[in-house]
Amino acid sequence: MKVENILAKNISSAGEKASYDAACKRLLANKVILAWIMKSCIEEYRDCEIQEIVENYIEGEADVADVPVNIDEQVSEEQIQNGATEDASIYEGVVTYDIRFCAKAPVSKEKIRLIINIEAQNDFYPGYPIISRGIYYCSRLISSQYGVEFSDAHYEKIKKVYSIWICMNPPKYRENSINRYSITEEQLIGSCSERKENYDLLTAIMICLGDSDDENASGILKLLEVLLSSDREVKEKKEILQNDFSIEMTKTLEREVSTMCNLSKGVEEKGIQKGIEKGIQKGIEQGIEQGIEKGILLSIRNLMETMGWSVEQAMEGLKIPEEEKSKYLDELKKM
């Protein structure tokens, strides 16, 4: 008989609710998944093998916010374990990271501060640009190194940081894409150059998932879509991860264990969709009598009331052309 390892159990436990915040962190905190993300998105690990990253470069314990990793099992070396999750100062307040861990660079063996943040609310429009928050987190990771990695004026000891954001429900135009934002040198006058390691200290990365059948959905995009999907069955997830990505799902022991496989499906996703449909339907019904423009205005307002969205998010959800948004903004002020 075979007993499932920790990753397999976590997939079983998360089931179809894997897109929820706690379930995402539970799954993504597994070292082999982190290694795939590092190899696919971080240039320092591009030429490394997955197992090499797991065994040689991910070091120490990770900080996992809100939910302890493997809360219902004993600690396993397969799982990155929890620790302190707050980065605070008397001036700046508190920042909580989803997953934070350290890794060594393959070439220099120097530490690289890594942070992975997961937007698990299926909301690409939380009221601010997600990438701005990612850059802010990078900045906090650098500033928090003072007194730990360096002190006084020894800025040469600052370690590089990454903030990686995985968005499960981005707008259509961002689906199946990975974008990287980093510091680069621009020679305005002259041709002199600074050593790259002196300024290449922070990078923010946006991973936007989509339909795995899309031609661009391969590699890490497919892996994460399969892992976090609320539509795929548990058995299908395990088979794809094992067959397509060589992620070992079982150990040879006495019996096969699989728990909590029957969690409800896509509750959060369906709730959002139901709210959208309710707001649009109400607006359409009233709009038949009051005209198309009035109906659109009512749809915007209903989405704002039903979903608690901002006016910008409501117009984005209705796919209102950019050139028409100001017109509806002006009309909404009169309502």
Q: Which residues contact 194 (CB under 8 A, 6 or more apart)?
A: 185
Q: Are 219 and 243 found together in one domain? A: yes
Domain co-membership, 105 together with 24: yes
Shared domain for 275 and 245, answered yes or no, is no
Q: Which two tokens stand for residue 92?
A: 């700046």
Q: Which domain holds residue 300?
A: 267-334
One domain, residues 307 and 247: no
Q: Residue 258 falls within a domain, yes or no?
A: no
Q: Is residue 262 part of a domain?
A: no
Q: How far is CA 104 from the centre of its chain?
A: 22
Tell me: do 91 and 193 sit in the same domain: yes
Asked if 15 and 80 sit in the same domain, the reply is: yes
Given a contact cutoff of 8 angstroms between Cβ atoms, the answer to whether 285 and 33 are in contact is no
The secondary structure of residue 63, as a DSSP letter, is E
Task: Report if residue 260 sits inside a domain.
Answer: no
d(CA 136, CA 178): 19
The 10s digit of each residue's pLDDT in 227-246 is: 877 777 777 888 888 889 88
Instruction: Please indicate, yes or no, if residue 109 is contained in any of the structural domains.
Output: yes
Instruction: With residue 168 as reference, give the H or E element that holds it.
Output: none
pLDDT one-digit tens code per residue, 148-162: 888 989 999 888 899
Do 78 and 204 belong to one domain?
A: yes
Residue 25 in contact with residue 98, Cβ under 8 Å?
yes
234 in the same domain as 306: no
Quote the strand ranges of the chain, DSSP E: 2-4, 58-64, 86-89, 93-96, 99-104, 111-119, 161-167, 177-182, 202-208, 250-252
Nearest to 68 by CA among 53, 55, 83: 83
| Digitized pLDDT (tens) for each residue of the chain, 335 residues in all | 555 666 666 665 555 444 456 666 767 778 888 999 999 999 999 999 999 999 999 886 666 664 333 334 444 555 555 444 555 444 444 445 678 888 888 877 677 777 676 655 467 888 888 999 899 989 988 988 889 888 989 999 888 899 999 888 888 889 999 999 999 999 999 999 999 989 999 999 999 998 877 777 789 999 988 887 777 777 788 888 888 988 887 442 222 223 222 333 444 444 555 555 555 655 555 545 456 777 788 888 888 877 778 888 888 878 788 888 888 888 877 76
Within a domain: 257: no
pTM: 0.68
Residues 228 and 284 in one domain: no
Measure the CA–CA gap between 86 and 106, rounded to whole angstroms: 28
Sign of the alpha-carbon dihedral angle for 319, 324, 330, 331? negative
Number of domains in the chain: 2
Would 290 be classed as within a structural domain?
yes
Are 202 and 135 part of one and the same domain? yes
